[in-house]
Each structure stands twice: as C-alpha cells, then as structure tokens.
Amino acid sequence: MENERRVVSVIVVNEASVLSRITDLFSARGYNIESLTVAPIPDSKYSRLTIVTSGSVRVIEQIVKQLHKLIPVLKVYDHVDFVEKEMAMVKFPISEPINDIDTLCRAYNGKIVNLGDDVLIAMVVDEPKRVDQFLKAIKRFHPKEIVRGGTVALER
C-alpha cells in the first residue's frame, strides 16, 4: 500500500507523562513521527499536539484509533482540508550578504530577527515544503545552525 503523509492533531489533558504516552505509542507500534509540536491550549486544561506522520491508509486509521484509546486523549483530528505552517530559524556568519538573505527570507514570510557581532539570525514561517525549499536556497550563505519548529495545523 502507498504511504501517505498525514497531519494529525491531538487534544490531550495537560498532565504529567501524557507526552510519553503518545510517543511510546508511536514507537511501540512502529509508527513514524516526522515532526511533533506541543503547547497548552490557553485557558483550558488541555494541550494540543500536532503530529506529522506517514503510513498506509490502514496504518493511519490505526494511529487515529490507538490515539483515541489513550485515556487522556480528548480528540483526534486526522486533517484533510487544512492550513499548515512551520517556522524555522537560521544562524549565518555576519560576513554573509545581509541584503540577499533578507530578500530571500521575505519571499518565505520571514525576516532577519537578530544581528550580533559575529552572527545574524533569520526566521521564516511557511508551509513545511516551502521551508524545505528555503533551507535549500540558503545553503550558499553558509548557515551555521538551523532549527525547525515542527508543523502546526488548523482544519479550514
């Protein structure tokens, strides 16, 4: 069966060890995690996780059901029609052409966010695929460090 990339959001009770329940489930059942983000939902006792995973239709169905089965899980969204974004930050040597970097960042919804003595830091926010492209494009500016934030998604 074809492997499909899926984005799944999980609403969980914000309590001790809830994150390990979820990651343990993925490792125990041999499911992939490509990215995982988590943060509390404001003014509630819940947190929201966004997981990017992949698998056959049957595997994805099992992932959703198995997540549901965990006691502290309130809801699972297997996204179909949704907006997803990811942020990335990159550190460059100050010697690199600042204007070129800035222009490139703007094309990907970003900008330079910090200028130091030796390095500058730029950030972008875009669809994960576009972030991939951005990270390819900046290779020629000799990035020193790259950090990606992981995907977040909302159903339309």
Instruction: List interacting residues with other proteins (CB under 8 A).
Output: 12-13, 16-17, 20-21, 24, 28, 58, 61-62, 65-66, 68-69, 71-74
17 or 99: CB nearest other proteins: 17
11 or 89: CB nearest other proteins: 11
At a CB cut-off of 8 Å and minimum separation 6, what does 52 contact? 5, 6, 7, 8, 33, 34, 35, 36, 128, 150, 151
Closest distance of CB 70 from other proteins, Å: 8
20 or 99: CB nearest other proteins: 20
Eight-state DSSP code of residue 3: -
Closest distance of CB 74 from other proteins, Å: 5
At a CB cut-off of 8 Å and minimum separation 6, what does 151 contact? 7, 35, 37, 50, 52, 84, 85, 86, 128
Q: Please report the beta strands in 14-81, taking only residues with DSSP state E, as ranges in sequence order.
A: 35-40, 46-55, 73-78
Is residue 90 a contact partner of residue 50, using CB atoms and an 8 Å limit?
Answer: no
In the chain, the amino acid numbered 15 is: E
Closest distance of CB 129 from other proteins, Å: 31
73 or 87: CB nearest other proteins: 73
